[in-house]
Amino acid sequence: MDGLRFDKLRVLVVDDNQHMRKLVIAVLQAVGVRDLFEAADGETAWKTLRDTNPDIIVLDWQMDGMTGLEFARLIRNSPRSPNVYVPIIMLTGHTHVDQVRQARDAGVNEFLAKPVSVKAILSRLVNVVEHPRPFIRTKTYFGPCRRRRAVTAYAGPERRKETTLVD
Amino acid sequence: MAIGEKPQIFMPPISLKAKAGSASGTLAVNPEALKKAEMAMDGLRREFADWLAEDIAALAKAFVAFTQDLSPENAGALFRAAHDLKGQATTFEYPLIARVAASLAKLMDGMQSWEAAPLPLVAAHIDAIHVIHRDQIKDASNLIALTLAEELEGRVVKTIAQASFKQCAADTRAS
């Protein structure tokens, strides 16, 4: 059956809770992801990111030391970032709308609320692969488009003035 | 790179779709992949009891450290331990532990200062989590555990409101 080629993906799982790491990794292994990397904190994750160049990052928000939000901002904005475009799926127990907004503003692509389900994990993966969002660069933000739908489908008033489309 | 005045919009240069996308580009999860992943999750279930016990022990340890030293580091560790349980206990088949842990995380997050966190109320949350675990209450509608969770949630709301009121009053006096 037609489906995502999970075996082609390289995924980095960053979570300071080893049980959640194990769970997410077990699900990814089961569907065929072979190149899996893990880190328990932001500093280790940054080194792993530079060493392994993953295609996707599954990132916990609440970690000791560097938080997931800080790590996401570092990936998107640091001149030393190996891949500022890497899709970030944020794994979190925070579900309040303000917190979702904070994650979006940090450059997160997808939001995966705990408790996680297998279906939710896989659907976020499918989404970042099959439905990549355009990137936006403004004076104050760099990251995936924060509008949920495709830009061309937006029918409301234009708040982002004089957008330049870049090939 | 200099950033101009006008926002720029562009597609990322690296295409995962080309690398690993399906031929049809469907957004649906492949049922076969889903089945395999569900089986992997089922295979882990026998470990969930140990994982939960370890997470509860980590919470208890963080609480002891916090009672001995009300430092921001210890408070942060206690909040994170509660937050972990909030997010994971349902997966580990104990939804009411998740609910009580969520209440504790809310308390720790909602206080104006760590020192103001009422230790007896924190301790009551941890005791409740121990009891639900000890009695293996996995049913989210268990009346006793549910009543306990609701009582704790109510006290947390009241405690945060009182702390917020005191802070406002202090700010008003200072200004």
Instruction: Check pLDDT > 80 for residue B11.
Output: yes
Probe site for chain B from A53, A114, A166 (most B CB atoms < 10 A): A114
Euclidean distance between CA atoms B63 and A136, whole angstroms: 43
Euclidean distance between CA atoms A133 and A145, whole angstroms: 6
- The domain locations on chain B are 45-174
Q: Is residue A158 part of a domain?
A: no
Query: Which residues, other chains included, contact B2 with Cβ-Cβ below 8 Å and sequence gap of 6+?
Result: none
Q: Is residue A165 part of a domain?
A: no
- Overall number of domains in chain A: 1
Instruction: Check pLDDT > 80 for residue A154.
Output: no
**Residue A162: pLDDT band with limits 50, 70, 90:** low
CATH architecture, domain defined by B45-174 = Up-down Bundle (1.20)
Q: Is B37's CB within 8 Å of A30's CB?
A: yes
Q: Is residue A159 part of a domain?
A: no
Angle between helices A68-77 and A97-105 (to 10 degrees): 30
Cβ neighbours of A17 in B, within 8 Å: 55, 84, 88
Q: Which amino acid is at A158?
A: E
Which tokens go with A52? Answer: 């392994």
Contact, A31 vs B33, CB < 8 A? yes
Which tokens go with A60? Answer: 């916990």
Cβ neighbours of A145 in B, within 8 Å: 9
Half-sphere exposure of B67 (CA within 13 A, CB side): 12
Cα angle for residues B121, B127, B130 (degrees, 5° grid): 150
pLDDT for A157 = 56
Contact, A150 vs A139, CB < 8 A? no
Q: Is residue A23 part of a domain?
A: yes
- Cα distance from B40 to chain A (closest Cα, Å)? 6
Cβ neighbours of A9 in B, within 8 Å: 16, 19-20
Instruction: Check pLDDT > 70 for residue A153.
Output: no
Residue of higher predicted confidence among B2 and A99 = A99
Residue of chain A with shortest Cα separation from B19: A8
Residue of higher predicted confidence among A114 and B116 = A114
Q: Is residue A166 part of a domain?
A: no
**Residue A63 DSSP code:** -
Residue of higher predicted confidence among B111 and A54 = A54
Q: Is residue A2 part of a domain?
A: no
Which tokens go with A144? Answer: 């995936």
pLDDT (tens digit per residue) in A28-84: 999 999 999 999 999 999 999 999 999 999 999 989 899 999 999 999 999 999 999
Domain of residue A31, residue span: 7-153
Per-position b or e across B119-130, b if 16+ CB within 10 A of its CB: eebbebbbebbe
Instruction: Check pLDDT > 90 for residue B99.
Output: yes
pLDDT for B92 = 93
- Minimal Cβ distance to A126: which of B15, B29, B31: B29
What is the arithmetic mean of pLDDT over A90-102? Answer: 86
Euclidean distance between CA atoms A86 and A88, whole angstroms: 6
Strand order in the sheet with A135-137: A142-144, A135-137, B8-10, A164-165
Task: Indicate the average pLDDT of chain A.
Answer: 88
- List phi, psi (to 5°) of B94: -125, 75
Q: Is residue A163 part of a domain?
A: no
Q: Report the complex ipTM.
A: 0.84
Q: Looking at the complex, does the CB of residue B88 fall below 8 Å from at least one CB of chain A?
A: yes
Residue of chain B with shortest Cα separation from A112: B87
**Residue B171: pLDDT band with limits 50, 70, 90:** confident
